[in-house]
Structure formats: C-alpha cells, structure tokens
Structure 1
Amino acid sequence: MAAVSFGGAIASFSGPSEAAAQEQRFAAYITGYGFWDNTPPGSVAISHPVKHRRAGGIGTYRDPITLAVGHTLKGRRDILDFPAGTVFYLPRLKKYAIVEDTCGDGPRPQDGPCHTGARGYPWLDLWVGGQTVSPAQSEKCQYKITAVQMVYLSPKPNYEVYPGEVIASGCAVH
C-alpha cells in the first residue's frame, strides 16, 4: 500500500500490482480540461500516451477518456502522481478514464495545485474535448463537472457508462 500526500492530507492506494487485483474507492477533486486550454492551447497533445496517441476516448472500459494528473520533475525524469495507464471509473460522470497526460506546467509543477491537490483531495483533470465548441462553452462544461467526488481506482469493467466525449454528452453529471 502506497501513501501519497496531497496538500497535507494522505490518500492511500495500492501500487500498480496490488491495485490491479483490487478496486479501491476514494474522494478526489475532479476538474476538466479541453482543446482550448490544453498545453499547447488549441491542441489534443498528451504527454504520456497509453491507449490514445492524442487526448480522447468515449468513457467506456475499452476506450477510457484521457485523464491528466499532477507530476513532479526530478532532473529529466517526469514522475506522475498516478502511473500512466492507471484506470479510474468516475461514477458521477459515468465514465472510465485513463492516465495519459500531466496537469501543471512550468519548471516546478510539483508546486502547483494539480500535484498538491485541492482541499486535501488528489486532483484529477479529465479531458472534456471541445474542438467543435467555443472556448467559453468548453469552460462552462469544465466548471459543471468540477467537484470533489468519489472515484474508483482499478475499477471493475462492468459499471454503467454514458459513452461519448464529455462535451458531446452535455457535460452530464449524475
């Protein structure tokens, strides 16, 4: 069992080999990011592709949506708060997500909110899409899904899903 500190609070979760065997649930701060506020802006670029070559996915177990997590830079090493390929289920959004990107820019992302967390909760930033909408519409969607909510780490494959890009599904929360 590993413990990761987020803004002074400790979130415990099993390492990759343990986590694969057992689903774990905990509260996390979920936000959204999209085409217009990605790095670089106006792109679908991701830093740690696993399932996709660019940000995407429809939220099913077989095609989870790209998720960005905080990270630390140690020299040339980029250490993600959750390893690339880690899968989550987000019951409030009825979507599966996979870690494929980093949240937080600059020379010391470990000092930013994505790594340190929000109000003691780990911070997960979900790709909402948004290539076909205005920056304002994308931002409105991101705001709508932002909340502290339960997440399932290493989830079972059979949870209810509303497939589709988050923006395309009206940014629905349940």
Structure 2
Amino acid sequence: MRVKSSKLILATATCLSLSACVETPVSRAQNLDARVDSPTLTSAQPAETSKNFSIYLTGYTYWDNTPPGSAAIARPVLRQRAGGTGSWRSPITIAVGHSIVNGRQTLDYPEGTRFYLPRLRKYAIVEDVCGDGPTPQGGPCHTGHNGHPWLDIWIGGKDVSPQESDACARRITAVQTAIINPPRDLPVQEGEIATGGCQVFL
C-alpha cells in the first residue's frame, strides 16, 4: 500500500510517513522500548486512561507527503485522506512510528488513538505512519528524539506555497506536552494548521 510521507522539520531529519525518514532537516521518531515515562497502550493500561507526557512534535504537509502533492494516509480511521480541524469530533491526522518484525507491522500507537496538543490547542488521531524500509524501527520515527516519542502531525498546506508550509512545520516543531486519551472538553483552536496562521500557544 502506498503511504504518506512526512518531512520532519527540526534540524536533523526528514521523515516520510511509511515512506522515509531521511537525515536532513528534522527528524521525528518514537522509541517505546527506550522510554520509561511515555505511555503505551497495553493490557495493563486501559485505553481510556488519560495521561500527560512529553513528545517531540513535527509536521508534514501536502507538499512533502508520500506521494508529494497528496493527502494520502496509511491507516484511515475517520477519513480516507489526511485532514481534520482539531476539534474532538474532527481531530487532525497524526503519523506515528512503527516496526516490522517477521513481516508484521506494529504501530507505536494503534490507529484511532487520540491525543490533545495544548501548544496547538488541537486534538489529533493516529491515521498514518512515519518511517520507511524493511526495518523502520531503526529510524527516528520509531526510536524517538532525545528520549521523547516522535509524533508527526498533518499541517495541510495545499492552498499555500511549499515554502510557507515548511515554515509552519518548523514553527510547530518542538518538544512539548501531549495528552493521550484526552477528555473531550479541552480548549480548541479549530482549522487547518498551515492555513490557520500556524498558531502556537503557551
């Protein structure tokens, strides 16, 4: 299946959702094995447990997705293309790292997992993957950034230039707080990130 790409924009790698994590501008990743304080969904932790933790957030756009110039996603849940306004009912597509062992793909966070990002005032939902090759677990999307899990959020940007989209991705890239399995009543700034002023809060 064709999956989307994510161009990481931090200062060290570019990650294509289910396509490629290339060392260049920023990298995004997840290392569920090496983190101690990062929540994962296991039988010991009910799916509805809400928890704050630190993540490394990057953004991917319409222009650097895989294939470029598309909103294709690998694990549709609420929609067939990347999107969302950031509300509880319309969370924005987010990509996570994954591993492939004995031909079996396992996402670091299952598709449909919801997050809330206070710095963006947006809800997000796992609908895509980040990482490429036969052993994506060796790339930054899965191994994380300085001990933090790596999440890559859809910025959009079809209606703005690739340069503006990249600038927005750089603006939101940072280690920041996320809430996994968040409550439904948190403050929201609705709208596509790239065309909504690329606002950050806190």
d(CA) in 1 for partners of 2:98, 2:54? 19
Query: What's the Cα RMSD here?
Result: 1.6
Residue 142 of structure 2 is matched in structure 1 by 115
Residue 10 of structure 1 is matched in structure 2 by 36
Q: Are 1:52 and 2:84 counterparts?
A: no
SS for the counterpart of 1:79 is strand
AA of the residue aligned to 1:145: I
The question of whether the paired residues in 2 share the 8 Å contact of 1:11 and 1:122 is answered with no
d(CA) in 2 for partners of 1:164, 1:117? 28
AA of the residue aligned to 2:41: G
**Which residue of 84, 90, 101 maps to 2:117?**
90
Q: Structure 1 residue runs of 4+, over 6 Å off?
A: none
- Is the alpha carbon distance of 1:32 and 1:95 closer, same or farther for their aligned partners in structure 2, counting shifts above 3 Å? same
Provide the identity percentage.
53
Unaligned runs of 5+ in 1: none
Number of matched pairs: 170
Partner deviation per Cα, 1:13-54 (whole Å, 9 max, x = no partner): 252674433210100000000111111111110000001111
Q: CA deviation at 1:170?
A: 1.0
Q: Indicate the structure with greater strand content.
A: 1
Residue 197 of structure 2 is matched in structure 1 by 170
Paired residues for 1:1-174 under 5 Å? 4-5=32-33, 8-13=34-39, 15=41, 18-174=45-201
- Is the alpha carbon distance of 1:68 and 1:22 closer, same or farther for their aligned partners in structure 2, counting shifts above 3 Å? same
Unaligned runs of 5+ in 2: 1-30
Partner deviation per Cα, 1:56-79 (whole Å, 9 max, x = no partner): 000000000000000112243221
d(CA) in 1 for partners of 2:42, 2:160? 37
- Is the alpha carbon distance of 1:173 and 1:19 closer, same or farther for their aligned partners in structure 2, counting shifts above 3 Å? farther
The question of whether the paired residues in 1 share the 8 Å contact of 2:38 and 2:149 is answered with no
Q: Indicate the structure with greater helix content.
A: 1
TM-score, scaled relative to structure 1: 0.92
